[in-house]
Structure 1
Amino acid sequence: MGLRTGLTGTVTRYAGAARRAVASGTVVPTAKSVLRRVSSTSHSYGLRRDLQAPHETPAAKIPITVRPLVEADVEHILDLHAEVGTAERWERQKRVGLLERGIGRPFVAVDADDDPCYVQWLFGADENDEVRDFFHGLFPTLAVDEALLEGAFTPERHQGKRIMSAGMSMIAEKASDLGARHVMTFVDVDNLASLKGCERAGFVPAVDRCETTRFGRTRVAFEEMSPARVEEARVLKG
């Protein structure tokens, strides 16, 4: 990719994000996101699941099944003009950007009426370049037997039903179709609800990720956890 082509792609992405922000009423959170790219520091855990390890899918509070996302699902789970709060609209906007890029394999958990109540993207090692470009190097390069889960989202109307842990557990198992044995996902260290959901889905802390951004330049460092560090990072003890 030449410099001009790369710059054109970057400008196009930012222009698209700006249009979505105006159209969806998320200018403020979009601006905050841009400012974080000027100066910010964050710490996340990379959690890993071994698909060959024994695991029982946790039960949600309502019956759900998992299937690939189809076009008709988008208006039900990612509609940017739905009557929801700004925070949820911002979360939807980010997933729409990922959907528009057309990478990964989006799956939805649906209830008994086939209403999508959870969405998450699965990426295989064959998409390392696309993942690196879209997420600005936030994730480690996947080995041939690894997959990545990202973009988890539960609409507010479906929250509190333990859908995330059940849906994530089932979506992770789809990675075996890609030839993967291990599945990774990353969660901010302060997001205790998501960390609990990931652990219930069979994921265990495995990697420390530190992200530092200064004047638009981001450095991401990954460090494998020692056994003692894994136990320290676990949210669900015992």
Structure 2
Amino acid sequence: MSERERIAARIRALRAKTVENGCTEAEAMAAAEKLAQLLADYNMTMDEADLRASPFGDHVHDAAGTVALKLWKPASAIAKLTNTRYWTGGRAAPTRITFVGLTHEVEIAAYLLAICERAMRTESAAIMHAVRRLPHIKQAARVMPFLDGMADRLAARIRAMIPPQPTGRGLVVLRNALITEELARRGVEIETGSARRPMNWGAYRDGQRAGDGVALNPGVAATSAARALR
């Protein structure tokens, strides 16, 4: 535990010393004075002290098939919405997607990714059924651009749900720093990849339209997401 983490823990303990919690009025006053002094000495806010107590969590999502090849697109947008970090791949499963961040934000990320995968599988299965008599290479030429379009549209809709950043960016910077520290403790290094452009633009646009029809927000509407993720 770093010195700043120790101070944050001490601040939280001092805040709990109240008359309602069994302290005398004199003890509560002394605790409040010490708390204020620590906040001033270490240039810390109560928000930072609370954030440093938040538990980190992770979620591993294993996918297979053609859908798995495109699932990273909505996953990338989900990570931005939920203030988590994500990466794909791993020794156990090349189509594995992992989120790391504050526990409640990772839970939202897992929920949204499951919605996206289910929708993409349902729609791609319908396309595969329609082209089942075609040669395999022509099936792929129809399905893969469709999934590209659907994944891109889902990602765009998720990014549109990101709430405006608050005026003070101190907590945003702190949150990112804490997640970076957590990844370092886990020995995780994230590299940036790139995507290929689709060839069948008709199928791509069909996929975009399918992405527009997915209900992303039963419980994660933009307003509720803004409250949960700030």
Q: Normalising TM by the smaller chain, what interval?
A: under 0.3
Bigger-Rg structure (1/2):
2
| The structure with more helix, counted as a fraction of residues | 2
Q: TM-score, normalised by structure 2?
A: 0.21
Q: Point out which structure has higher relative CO (alpha carbons under 8 A, 6+ apart).
A: 1
| The structure with more strand, counted as a fraction of residues | 1
Q: TM-score, normalised by structure 1?
A: 0.21
